[in-house]
Amino acid sequence: MWHEARRSEKKVHDMMDAARKRAQRRAIYLAKRRGDPIQSIQAVGSRYRVFRDDGLYQATEDQQGLIPWNGKQDVMIDRFDGRALLDFVREAGSRSVRPHKKTEEEEELEEFVNFERYRDLIKHRRRGFSDEEGLQHVHQELEAKLAAPFLGTRTQPAQPPANKGTYSQVGFSYAGNGKDNSLDADEDDVDDDEDDEDEEEEFDSNDSDDEGMETIAKQFGIKRYGWLVYMDKKA
C-alpha cells in the first residue's frame, strides 16, 4: 500500500516537472519569435477625408466662438484659448531673454535622441536612396516582418532513392556526355548564395567604422554616430 502511494506521488511530481519544463520551453520559443517589442512599433499614416460642415464654417466666420480677453472688447480670443486664464501678457521687448545654455548632459541626451530619430534616414542616405525609395524600402521591411511568423520552415531536401543495385549509384544521362548534372546545379546554387551574401554585405551600412555615415550623421547633429552604433550593438 505504501509503495503504491509512493509510486503515485512520484508520477504526479514527474507530470508537474514535465509541465513546468514544457511551459519554460514555450516561453523561450515565444520570446525568440517575438523579439524586441520596441522593434514592432509601427507608425502608419493614412488619408482622412474632411467632411464639409456649413454651420461650423459660418459660425467661425461670424466669430461666434470669440470672447473678449480680460474685459477688453478690442482683444478677442477663442473661448478655448488657454490665454484666457492669464491676467496680463508681458510685452515681447520688455525684457531681454538670455539664450539657455545647454549642459553637457542635455547635449548628450539631444544627440542620443537625434541618433534614434534619424538612424534609418542616415542609412538610406548612405545607400543613395531617395525619400520615395527609402519609404518603399521601409514598407518592404514591415511586410517582411509581418509575414515572417506565417512562413513555414524551409522544405527538407528529398531523400535519395533506396539502393537497388550496384549500378544505381552512378548517374547517367542519355542526352548528355555522361556527367552528372547535379554538380552543375549545386555550383549554380552556391554562386547564387554568394551573390546574395555579396549583395547583403554591399547594402549593410550598420558598420560603426563607416566614415561616410559619420559625415552624413553630423548633418543631423550626431557627432558620435560610430560610438552610438557600437554601444547599441553592445547592449
What are the helix and strand counts (H, E) for the chain?
7, 2
The predicted-structure confidence for 59-79, as pLDDT tens digits, reads as follows 888 888 888 888 888 888 888
Question: 107-132 in b/e burial notation, b at 16+ Cβ within 10 A?
Answer: eeeebeebbeebbeebbbbbeebeee
Note the pTM of the prediction, 2 decimals. Answer: 0.43
Give the Cα separation of 210 and 122 in Å (integer).
Answer: 12
pLDDT for 207 equals 55
Average pLDDT over residues 185-199: 51
Q: Is the pLDDT of residue 41 over 60?
A: yes
More confident residue, 64 or 193: 64
CA torsion through residues 4, 10, 16, 21, sign: negative
More confident residue, 91 or 19: 19
Q: What residues contact 86, with CB distance under 8 A and at least 6 apart?
A: 70
Compute how many other C-beta atoms are within 10 angstroms of the C-beta atom of residue 3.
7
Three-class secondary structure of residue 68 per DSSP = strand
Q: Whole-number mean pLDDT of the chain? A: 75
Q: What residues contact 233, with CB distance under 8 A and at least 6 apart?
A: 206, 208
Q: Is the pLDDT of residue 200 over 60?
A: no
- The 3-class SS string of 90-105 reads CCCCCCCCCCCCCCHH
The predicted-structure confidence for 116-139, as pLDDT tens digits, reads as follows 888 888 888 888 888 888 888 888
Average pLDDT over residues 155-159: 53
Q: How confident is the model at residue 92 (pLDDT cuts 50, 70, 90)?
A: low
Q: What residues contact 182, with CB distance under 8 A and at least 6 apart?
A: 171
According to DSSP, residue 34 is labeled H
The proportion of the chain whose per-residue pLDDT surpasses 70, expressed as a percent, equals 69
More confident residue, 181 or 28: 28
More confident residue, 15 or 194: 15
Average pLDDT over residues 43-58: 83
